[in-house]
Structure 1
Amino acid sequence: MRQVSHLRIINLELDTNYIKSLIALLDDPDTSVFETVANKIIEEGNEIIPFLEDAWESAHEPIIQNRIEEIIGSIQFNKLKSEFSSWISSPNHDLLEGTLLVSKIQYPELDPKRILEEIENIRRDIWLELNNSLTALEKVKIINHVLFDIYKYKPNTSDYYSPRNYLIKDLVESKKGGAVILTIFYAIISQQLGLPIYCVSIPHNFVLAYEDRYSVDLFEIEFEEERRVLFYINPFSQGSLFSANEIKFFLSQQKIEDNPQYYLPISNYEAIQQLVYNTKIAFQRSNQNAKASQLQKIYNLLQDQKPKPIK
């Protein structure tokens, strides 16, 4: 046993020395040498980040610190892509998990504990007020009261395109967010309560539909599916309710051609796609092009591997 333990210590020291020797080469003025070394470091994955952080703190030249920051960013993004690939291949495409992954673009080391606790507290407080005798409208009124009156969530109408308006971490911390993240947050809580509330993507709007789970789908024509929606909910307007006629009127006012897809719930997969796209635009408008580029890659990944609709 002592020999095995001793060998493990030697191997660990060799790995550590190898890693430190690689990091020491990051100040090489030859660009090709740097790129080769950087790629080897990136291949080591997340485990090498503590070594890089130590090197950053002891570095005296900004160029070396910048190189280390870029390498850490590449490692974290590779991990995020891997996590998104796992989410894509999962059977249920959990809405909360996908939303947390989007926040990791800005917060790679995100600890979701506070977010999960907040959602559970809201879910529990709503659940205590629900019962089977309530109508769909009454259930939504309870959700609205708990979410907007008790927990004080509200739309952020200033600095609309700030990336903070699209990330669940910032939403929970500030109690303010943009239309997309507020709507997805509302959907997460509703679905955890077992309520048939799903996202709907309308041009320039992102809202929710309360489906009639007892409706009988007698037709395959998409317009007939509109009948499965009892009403729509706008979380960006404190959970106000509206009908399909108001969607039709809005499209007419905006001179947008009517389309049945604007009335129908989308999948959680498509909701996360929309969140990724809108967050990318926010980073672009904030001149954070590196983050925007990463989100474009995630969006392309989601687009390339998008599940085909079940016929």
Structure 2
Amino acid sequence: MNFSSARQYFYQEIQQADEHIDLAKAALYIAQEEYPKLDPEEYLNALDTMAWELQERLPDSRYPLRIIQGINQYLYDDLKFSGNKIDYYDPRNSFFNDVIDRRLGIPITLALVYLEVARRIDFPMVGVGMPGHFLIRPDVPDIEIFVDAFNGGEIIFAQDCEERLSQIYQQPVTLQPEFLAVVSNRQFLARMLTNIKFIYLKQQELEKTLAAIERILLLFPNVTLELRDRGLISYQLGNYPQAVDDLQNYLAKVPDAQDASVIRRLLTELGRD
């Protein structure tokens, strides 16, 4: 595989067992494709410094709610991290270095700051892949609370999650257990990259859209919709051999897909059906 150095670092990081993937490093390698001069160590050191400063301020009690309150005060009151509600789809909200520098982000990147600082003070937390709004929660028995890193570390409960989903989708939503499932490290990174993919697709930045798709496929090589999308983007970029290969693979995996007739017409246009 002929990867850029940033892509190679990302690929090497995700070859490990899921629990050993360093999310902060992987997120910085994602950002390094956007910012080739980025030094990941600078930002890893910044996270270490945050954790050290936070540790000095925490109460002796290790009661989870007190620790969460301490993290919230430090990240949101002292450092002024906040959710970017004014320009949510600014690509910088999705790059971990920018989030640390600007103190602005979207739910998943602010969650990553929170998770990484919490990990460094030995307070276990996990990501929760709620549709439309990423959350985190303490990985502690018998404590059923969630933390909304986008909204100042607000502590919420399952009922609040259902109400939030109804607001997001502007219709009543019944909370399903899978909506609050813990995500793996690979799923976390794929969700970050999916955000980047759709931001750049909306802006018609096709090369950058393709780069996001390619990294999703490094994480999950058999995701059929990503194969299709890589094929369609490759077609738009004039890389017809890649387009044909991906679109044929897509149809081989899901011959009865809803868009199968459209894909077959495109392959016919390319002289391959």
TM-score normalized with structure 2 length: 0.73
1:211-253 CA distance string (max 9 Å, x none): 22xx3xxxxxxxxxxxx55310011111010011212333456
Q: 1:303 aligns with which of 220, 225, 249?
A: 220
Q: Indicate yes or no: 2:2 matched with 1:85.
A: no
The 2-side partners of 1:140 and 1:261 are apart by: 24
Match of 1:134 in 2: 62
Match of 2:50 in 1: 122
Residues 105 and 291 in structure 1, CA contact (< 8 A), matched pair in contact too: no
Letter in 2 for 1:286: Q
Q: Indicate yes or no: 2:159 matched with 1:233.
A: no
**3-state secondary structure, aligned to 1:205:** coil
Equivalent residues, number: 218
Unaligned runs of 5+ in 1: 1-42, 44-74, 216-227, 307-311
The 2-side partners of 1:252 and 1:285 are apart by: 25
Q: Residues 305 and 86 from structure 1, CA distance in 2 versus in 1: closer, same or farther, beyond 3 angstroms?
A: farther
Q: 1:102 aligns with which of 17, 30, 41?
A: 30
The 2-side partners of 1:267 and 1:191 are apart by: 15
Equivalence map 1:251-290=2 (5 Å):
251=165, 254-256=171-173, 258-290=175-207
Residues 184 and 271 in structure 1, CA contact (< 8 A), matched pair in contact too: no
Once the two structures are overlaid, the 10-residue window that deviates more, 275-284 or 124-133, is 124-133
1:241-292 CA distance string (max 9 Å, x none): 0011212333456444532121232122211111111111112222221111
Identity across matched positions, percent: 23
Q: Residues 194 and 240 from structure 1, CA distance in 2 versus in 1: closer, same or farther, beyond 3 angstroms?
A: same
The 1-side partners of 2:185 and 2:222 are apart by: 14
1:16-61 CA distance string (max 9 Å, x none): xxxxxxxxxxxxxxxxxxxxxxxxxxx9xxxxxxxxxxxxxxxxxx
The 2-side partners of 1:85 and 1:113 are apart by: 18
Q: Indicate yes or no: 2:160 matched with 1:246.
A: yes
**3-state secondary structure, aligned to 1:90:** coil
The 2-side partners of 1:252 and 1:146 are apart by: 31
Residues 82 and 105 in structure 2, CA contact (< 8 A), matched pair in contact too: yes
Q: Indicate yes or no: 2:211 matched with 1:294.
A: yes
Which of structures 1 and 2 has the larger relative contact order (alpha carbons within 8 angstroms, sep 6+)? 1
1:147-176 CA distance string (max 9 Å, x none): 111111111112211111100111122111
The 2-side partners of 1:263 and 1:294 are apart by: 29
Equivalence map 1:177-196=2 (5 Å):
177-196=105-124
Unaligned runs of 5+ in 2: 224-273
**3-state secondary structure, aligned to 1:171:** helix
**3-state secondary structure, aligned to 1:241:** strand
Residues 146 and 155 in structure 2, CA contact (< 8 A), matched pair in contact too: yes
Letter in 2 for 1:141: Q
The 2-side partners of 1:283 and 1:139 are apart by: 37
Match of 1:57 in 2: none
**3-state secondary structure, aligned to 1:202:** coil
Letter in 1 for 2:176: N
Q: Indicate yes or no: 2:77 matched with 1:149.
A: yes
The 2-side partners of 1:118 and 1:174 are apart by: 13
The 2-side partners of 1:98 and 1:298 are apart by: 11
Residues 83 and 104 in structure 2, CA contact (< 8 A), matched pair in contact too: yes
TM-score normalized with structure 1 length: 0.65
The 2-side partners of 1:274 and 1:158 are apart by: 21
